[in-house]
Structure 1
């Protein structure tokens, strides 16, 4: 990633979800992705089941 003309390392990950809108509401999909994001950012939550 470029910042002020310099190449710098930044933590970044793209995450996408494909689902059938006939079966899954968009709000449910976003809620699921938020939980996945939280688990990736703080794996201890996943291990402890918080």
Structure 2
């Protein structure tokens, strides 16, 4: 393993962890009641148009 491949591996794992964290945060936000009511409100206004 060269230095280049180790660096690539590290950057890939950082990107993967970052993506996982973003998805987890998004799911937590999605599960919040306030966010759910806001999103349903948004859907209703979208359906009216």
**What's the TM-score once normalised by structure 2's chain length?**
0.39
Give 1 or 2: higher strand fraction: 1
Give 1 or 2: higher helix fraction: 2
**What's the TM-score once normalised by structure 1's chain length?**
0.39
